[in-house]
Amino acid sequence: VVPEGRFMKAGARVMALDDPTAKMSKSAPNEMSRISLLDEPSKIKKAIMRSTTDSDGVIRFDIDNKPGISNLLSIYSAFSGKTIEQLEKDYEGSGYGQFKKDLVEVTVDALSPIRERFLEIRGSQELIDAMKSGTERASAIAEPVLKRVKDRFGLGI
Q: CATH number of the domain that 74 lies in?
A: 1.10.240.10
**Range 136-145 contact pairs with CB under 8 angstroms and sequence separation of 24 or more:** none
56 & 97 share domain: yes
Residue-range definition of the domain harbouring residue 131? 126-157
What percent of the chain is modeled with pLDDT above 90?
82
- pTM, two decimals, is 0.76
109 & 136 share domain: no
Kindly tell me if the per-residue pLDDT of 7 is higher than 70: no
Q: Tell me what pLDDT residue 40 has.
A: 97
67 & 117 share domain: yes
Q: Tell me what pLDDT residue 75 has.
A: 97
118 & 145 share domain: no
CA angle 141, 128, 119 (to 5 degrees): 140
Q: What is the mean pLDDT of the chain?
A: 92
Q: What is the pLDDT of residues 53-111, one digit of tens each?
A: 999 999 999 999 999 999 999 999 999 999 999 999 999 999 999 999 999 999 999 99
Q: Tell me what pLDDT residue 132 has.
A: 94
